[in-house]
Amino acid sequence: MKTGITIYKVIIVVLLLSLSMGYFSCDDPDPKEDNDEPSRWSRYGMEDKAIQKLRLFDDQLYAITKLRGLYRRNIVDEFSEWQYLGFEDTVSDWRYAHGVYDVYINTENPTSIMIAVYEADSLNSSILVSQDNGVTWLSSDSGMVYEREDSLYQGSVGEITGVGNIIYGTGSDGIYVTYDFGVSWHLLIYYDSISYWGLKVHPYNDHILWVIFMGVWGDSNISKSSDGGLSWEGLPESFASLYQFADDIALHPLDEQIVYVSVPSNVYKTEDFGETWVQILSGDSLGYSFSLISIDEKQPNHLVVMGRENINFHPIQETFDGGVSWIKIDYPYDYLIYSHPLVDPNNEALYLPTEGGVLKYLYNVNLNEGE
């Protein structure tokens, strides 16, 4: 009888030790089993929310969830939690809901925050500004009413980007600009039978703009400006085939002449401000379609490109030498990625906005081969 009790006790101890050592761990059950380096990946919170977009300003990571509101987390403090900044919409019918579409932090004054919010019962957006780090908010969309064919229209924007107090807002009707952090806005470009697809502002020169316009038949056209959008110049006709149906643009932060453009299946690079282009990545042989480019502002030769083969598959490629060689990043989750991965050079990490929260990936900077 004692022998039976002793064996029973031994079995219990072994089971307890196994559980404590993680043999029966249930942590993070979602990653696919074929991931080579699961330790590089981790969840970074808000698993119950669909993250539409991420923005990184210094050590503050902002998560845009549209109808679920705006959140912020300090990525330097390992014990930090996500802070809710407001703007959740609780209406039952999504057709009458509003939501946060973008956020911008004044690089010259980090406590100044601007957001683009779509209003309930309206197709128009509002611009809200906080001067106290998100405690209080004030409307700031003066000047977005414009006249067209003897009628007045209320403009709206869904994306805001810029440098310091100079911010460009883009929406369905045109591109707006403010030179005083939202005190007043001006219509810079009106879209006539075309629609906006993407705008990039050089991070250290707000006069350098690149934009993708989508035409009425779906073909895209890239234009560039060197004077803050007062005048625009298209790319050479001889290279039109390279940038038709362009998806994204990335600007080299240290060299204004270097620009990257992604088109279906391929990524191109120019070193002379768009006069000539070379292909640096082709997805044709891989069956990939690259659509998003993220660039490391501290190590500009480090780029991450992402595309879709289907709705749940995201081939991700990474280069540390400006596109000479590429490394595949295995994505071990089934979560849909909504927009650009963010490169965080200070923590050697990527942050990805997904339908299952924020994901974090640690990349190997030892592969960097220099500038």
Provide the β-strand partners of residue 351.
342, 360
Cβ-based neighbour number of residue 370 at 10 Å: 7
Identity of residue 248: D
* Helical spans, DSSP H, in the chain: 2-20, 240-243
What is the mean pLDDT of each successive set of 10 residues along the chain, which is 371 residues long?
47 43 38 53 94 93 91 94 87 63 91 84 73 92 73 79 92 86 88 72 94 69 91 80 78 96 87 93 68 91 79 74 92 88 92 95 61 42
pLDDT at 240: 67
Domains of the chain, with CATH numbers? 41-46+242-371 (2.130.10.10), 89-234 (2.130.10.10)
Q: In this structure, are residues 314 and 306 in contact, taking their beta carbons and an 8 Å threshold?
A: yes
Nearest to 319 by CA among 342, 338, 296: 296
Euclidean distance between CA atoms 233 and 236, whole angstroms: 9
pLDDT at 305: 92
pLDDT at 150: 78
Euclidean distance between CA atoms 119 and 18, whole angstroms: 54
Euclidean distance between CA atoms 367 and 175, whole angstroms: 39
Nearest to 275 by CA among 324, 333, 224, 227: 224
Tokens read off for 187: 């219509």
pLDDT at 152: 76
